[in-house]
Amino acid sequence: MSDLLDGRTSVVTGAASGIGRAIALSFAEHGADVVVADIREEPREGGAPTHERIAEETDASAVYVDCDVSERTQLEEAVEAAEEFGGIDVMVNNAGFALGTPFLEVTEEEYDRLMDVNLKGAFFGAQVAAERMVENGGGTIINISSVEGLQGAGGTTPYSTSKGGVRLLTYSLADELGGEGIRVNAIHPGLIRTTLTEQSGLVGGDAEEALLRQIPQGRVGEPEDVAGGAVFLASDLSDYANGESLVLDGGLTSTL
């Protein structure tokens, strides 16, 4: 496609499936080598693993690394894997999941697991990446939050809490790391069509029909919509963007 990311190496967590898979593939199409970091190699939507598709369909290189983002040592291993391609330039903290349990029914175990993946994973993913980026003279960190990190939503309190934390983590790191040549930005997707959102009933059912009436563009987002935003933030096209929130929701939150 283009050489927007030519010569760069990226680590994308949760890149086996869904949004992370689309980001990893788009990065490779634009010239970046990719470390696919996930707890599973096989994509939920079927087909060849992400790193194999990159090798088959692009000129970029890719490797899969087993990575539970709640474990800092495994994040270190993912970032270390980028050394094979010259060292990390772009870190995408994408791994996460939603918890729709009503607030009064959330258990301590559910809460801890959600925060370990969604918030702790982004925190330490950024930390281990930034350590290398400082040594290398700079880089870019992209945190995948959510529109529910911008506004509260009943029924998804734990998820909104974690994603709100990701948003403020992004702003704080932009200030703290900007002087080191590291840009930190967040992407806030709206309703995106993935295997997980289809299985949860958010896409393809009555919930989608109700939400479509509120989305000015009149459609559900696709993983590639988020990937395009990630390519922009990873490239020199966004060189003066730091501490920003890129909302990709078809206009939903701006027009409610």
Give domain status of residue 215, yes or no: no
Cβ–Cβ under 8 Å, residues 48 and 58: no
Tokens 């911008």 belong to residue? 150
pLDDT at 208: 75
Lookup: tokens for 238: 């966004």
Give domain status of residue 196, yes or no: no
CA atoms within 13 A on the CB side of 240: 0
Q: Of 9, 146, 207, nearest to 89 (Cα)?
A: 9
Lowest mean pLDDT among 229-233, 236-240, 250-254: 250-254
pLDDT band at 128 (very low <50, low <70, confident <90, very high): very high
**What CATH number does the domain containing 96 carry?**
3.40.50.720
pLDDT at 137: 97
Cα–Cα distance, 253 to 52 (Å, whole number): 37
Check pLDDT > 70 for residue 1: no
pLDDT at 154: 86
pLDDT digits (tens, 9 = 90+) for 176-234: 999 999 999 999 999 999 988 887 777 877 777 778 888 999 999 999 999 999 999 99
pLDDT at 37: 98
Give domain status of residue 156, yes or no: yes
Q: Which amino acid is at 199?
A: Q
Give domain status of residue 113, yes or no: yes
Cα–Cα distance, 202 to 223 (Å, whole number): 15
Lookup: tokens for 49: 């693993």
Lookup: tokens for 22: 């689309």
Is the overall model pTM greater than 0.85, yes or no?
yes
pLDDT band at 132 (very low <50, low <70, confident <90, very high): very high
pLDDT digits (tens, 9 = 90+) for 48-64: 999 999 999 999 999 99
More confident residue, 201 or 36: 36
Give domain status of residue 240, yes or no: yes
**Residues 6 or more apart from 201 whose CB is under 8 A from it?**
207
pLDDT digits (tens, 9 = 90+) for 86-109: 999 999 999 999 988 899 999 999
Q: Of 157, 16, 40, 37, nearest to 92 (Cα)?
A: 37
Q: Which amino acid is at 75?
A: L
Check pLDDT > 70 for residue 39: yes
Cβ–Cβ under 8 Å, residues 143 and 184: yes
Number of structural domains in the chain: 1
Give domain status of residue 1, yes or no: no
Tokens 């490779």 belong to residue? 28
Give domain status of residue 163, yes or no: yes
Give domain status of residue 44, yes or no: yes
Catalytic residue list: 159
- Show the domain range for 175: 9-191+220-255
